[in-house]
Amino acid sequence: VRLTTTQSNNLNPMYGEDSQTVIFQSDRNGNFDLFTINQETGAEVQLTSDTADDVNPFYSLELKYVVFQSNRNNNWDIYILDTDTGNEYRLTNTPADETFPAWSPNGKYISYLSNVDGGTDLFVVDSLTGELIKRITTDGKTNNIAWSPDGERLAYQSERAGNLDIYTYDLATDIEYRVTNFEGPDSGPTWDCGGDNLAFTSTRDNDANVF
Which pLDDT tens digit goes with each residue over 140-191?
999 999 999 999 999 999 999 889 999 999 999 999 999 999 988 999 999 9
Distances (CA, A) of 111 to 6, 63, 106, 193: 32, 18, 13, 19
Q: Would you state the pLDDT for residue 128?
A: 87
The pTM assigned to this predicted structure is 0.94
Which has the closest alpha carbon to 149: 200, 102, 196, 201?
196
**pLDDT of residue 49 exceeding 90:** yes
Which has the closest alpha carbon to 166: 184, 183, 188?
188
**SS3 category, 96:** coil
User: Taking residues 131-145, what's their average pLDDT?
Assistant: 96
Q: What is the dihedral of CA 110, 114, 120, 121, to 10 degrees?
A: -50
Q: Report d(CA 77, CA 193) in Å as an integer.
A: 30
